[in-house]
């Protein structure tokens, strides 16, 4: 037992985070579970209560939520949803989904290789392949399932997978499932990748993301491709946050850099720019055919609900027919990035609609979130271990649906609240 003085001086909430309760050995699994719960009781009251609050409206520019403190909060300006092109609540999309529910029912009631494949799925896959200018496409019921399915579907024990250190959890979990050796390289650092690829024999896969989800920066794709090719490694890109958004025609970061054919395996999601749910893999026919046979997260899982597929398909057709939506998003991104920078707000290395509002100090981020909410802005904080220690931030998402007035209000309010909290500008 520790002394009473020690226990009195102990501050569980501020001294711990999620990383502390992941590992723990002993005789009972519940030792870890109970420790976490003891901490959570204090953490929840101390600030974590702002997570997991249910929306009571569509994830549009204005939202209603039921707070964990029991209050109904209406009319908050939403800068946290991935609804980049406003498709999640677009009438074009929701009406297509309603019609599909009436035709197909709620769920697919089966996996894709037996009874769960519908004509709407095949239409969606063909449309995505055509949009991405690839030979073939296959779909998954989430972006997470797509990444673990693709990676564990094509890589095996004895192979080596090279991952950017900021890779999404689904990429890391896919690598773990594959049983291949995993090597991390420094974020966007082609020289470090080069050093780590050198001397590696056997089958090699380099995986990057088009836009990194916590920093909003673009992948350094030209140099990554050059180094990967030099060492005979295949390349996969996760364009969850960049497909349908980046590039002249929205074909992603690969189009932005003119490297669509240099990348072997393309992954993306339907839950961000297209406002639905699901993920896809596209590339050549051989790759997709192999994946449909060996991607276990697809094979052994119920297919996407047909209504979601119909909504996503409608969203795709809508943004193809209306490229000005994407252009409006980029106008909004540039406006808000510029206004935040003029106000001295640190937005890191972001070049996209994902804009980190850097706070750095983990202890201050929850209080600032509360202050922003009091000013009518819904912006969720991200701290360790989701990002590096001492790099707490807000992860702001811009939508094409935001108006200039809404963006201006956000820039001014964020700058003022940070200033009041003593967060130094332009570190």
Where on the chain is the footprint of another protein (CB under 8 A)?
1-3, 6-7, 9-12, 15-16, 20-21, 23-28, 31-32, 35, 38-39, 165, 172, 175-176, 181-184, 186, 360-361, 363, 388-391
C-alpha 360: how far from chain center:
21
CB of 34 to another protein, least distance (A): 9
Which CB sits closer to another protein, 65 or 359?
359
Question: d(Cα 175, Cα 165) in Å, to the nearest integer?
Answer: 13
Give, for 149, the enclosing helix (H) or strand (E): helix 143-154
Q: Are 380 and 59 in contact, with CB atoms under 8 Å apart?
A: no
Question: d(Cα 265, Cα 150) in Å, to the nearest integer?
Answer: 9
Which CB sits closer to another protein, 293 or 363?
363
Instruction: Please say whether the dihedral angle defined by the alpha carbons of residues 182, 184, 188 and 191, taken in this order, is positive or negative.
Output: negative
Question: d(Cα 80, Cα 60) in Å, to the nearest integer?
Answer: 10
CB of 315 to another protein, least distance (A): 34
Which CB sits closer to another protein, 26 or 70?
26
Q: Are 100 and 306 in contact, with CB atoms under 8 Å apart?
A: yes
CB of 172 to another protein, least distance (A): 5
What strands, in cross-sheet order, belong to the sheet with 181-185?
A: 136-140, 279-283, 265-269, 234-238, 204-209, 160-164, 181-185
Residue 113, classed as helix, strand or coil, is: coil
Strand partners, 218: 211
Which CB sits closer to another protein, 19 or 403?
19
Question: d(Cα 108, Cα 291) in Å, to the nearest integer?
Answer: 20
CB of 175 to another protein, least distance (A): 6
Q: Are 223 and 186 in contact, with CB atoms under 8 Å apart?
A: no
Q: Are 368 and 392 in contact, with CB atoms under 8 Å apart?
A: no
Which CB sits closer to another protein, 134 or 391?
391
Q: Are 312 and 268 in contact, with CB atoms under 8 Å apart?
A: no
CB of 366 to another protein, least distance (A): 15
CB of 392 to another protein, least distance (A): 10
The residue count of the chain comes to 427
CB of 91 to another protein, least distance (A): 43
Which CB sits closer to another protein, 25 or 72?
25
CB of 143 to another protein, least distance (A): 19
CB of 394 to another protein, least distance (A): 16
Which CB sits closer to another protein, 206 or 243?
206
Which CB sits closer to another protein, 149 or 276?
149
Which CB sits closer to another protein, 155 or 254?
155
Smallest Cα–Cα separation from 42: which of 366, 361, 393, 360?
Answer: 366
Q: Are 206 and 233 in contact, with CB atoms under 8 Å apart?
A: yes
Question: d(Cα 350, Cα 356) in Å, to the nearest integer?
Answer: 7
Question: d(Cα 303, Cα 135) in Å, to the nearest integer?
Answer: 21
CB of 63 to another protein, least distance (A): 32
CB of 210 to another protein, least distance (A): 21
For residue 408, the number of C-alpha atoms closer than 13 Å in the C-beta half-sphere is 3
| Strands annotated E in 246-327 | 265-269, 279-283
Which CB sits closer to another protein, 38 or 109?
38
Which CB sits closer to another protein, 160 or 271?
160
Task: Tell me how far CA of residue 295 lies from CA of 144, 149, 317, in angstroms.
Answer: 12, 4, 27
């Amino acid at each position: 037992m520790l002394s009473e003085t020690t226990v009195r001086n102990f501050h569980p909430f501020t001294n711990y985070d999620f990383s502390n309760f992941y590992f723990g050995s002993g005789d009972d699994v519940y030792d870890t579970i109970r420790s976490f719960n003891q901490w959570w009781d204090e953490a929840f009251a101390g600030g974590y209560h702002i997570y997991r609050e249910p929306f009571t409206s569509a994830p549009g520019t204005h939202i209603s939520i039921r707070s964990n403190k029991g209050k109904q909060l209406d009319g908050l300006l939403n800068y946290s949803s991935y609804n980049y092109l406003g498709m999640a609540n677009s009438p074009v999309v929701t009406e297509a989904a309603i019609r599909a529910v009436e035709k197909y029912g709620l769920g697919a009631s089966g996996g894709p290789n037996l009874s769960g494949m519908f004509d709407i799925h095949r239409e969606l896959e063909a449309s995505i392949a055509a949009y991405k200018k690839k030979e073939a496409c296959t779909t998954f019921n989430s972006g997470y399932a797509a990444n673990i399915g693709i990676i564990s579907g094509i890589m095996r024990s004895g192979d080596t997978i090279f991952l950017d250190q900021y890779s999404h959890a689904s990429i890391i979990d896919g690598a773990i499932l594959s049983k291949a050796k995993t090597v991390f390289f420094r974020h966007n650092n082609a020289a470090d990748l080069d050093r780590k690829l050198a001397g590696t024999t056997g089958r090699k896969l380099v995986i990057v993301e088009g836009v990194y989800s916590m920093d909003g920066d673009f992948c350094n794709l030209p140099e990554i491709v050059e180094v990967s090719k030099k060492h005979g490694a295949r390349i996969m890109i996760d364009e969850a946050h960049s497909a349908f958004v980046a590039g002249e025609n929205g074909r992603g970061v690969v189009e932005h850099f003119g490297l669509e054919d240099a990348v072997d395996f393309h992954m993306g999601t339907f839950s961000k720019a297209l406002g639905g749910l699901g993920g896809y893999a596209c590339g050549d026919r051989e790759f997709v055919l192999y994946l449909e046979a060996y991607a276990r997260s697809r094979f052994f899982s119920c297919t996407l609900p047909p209504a979601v597929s119909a909504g996503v398909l409608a969203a795709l057709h809508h943004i193809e027919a209306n490229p000005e939506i994407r252009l409006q998003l980029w106008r909004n991104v540039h406006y808000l990035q510029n206004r935040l920078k003029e106000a001295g707000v640190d937005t890191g290395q972001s070049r996209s609609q994902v804009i980190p509002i850097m706070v750095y100090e983990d202890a201050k981020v929850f209080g600032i979130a509360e202050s922003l909410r009091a000013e009518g802005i819904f912006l969720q904080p991200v701290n360790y271990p989701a990002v590096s220690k001492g790099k707490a931030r807000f992860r702001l998402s811009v939508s094409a649906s935001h108006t200039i007035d809404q963006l201006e209000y956000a820039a001014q309010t964020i700058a003022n609240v940070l200033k009041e909290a003593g967060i130094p500008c332009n570190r």
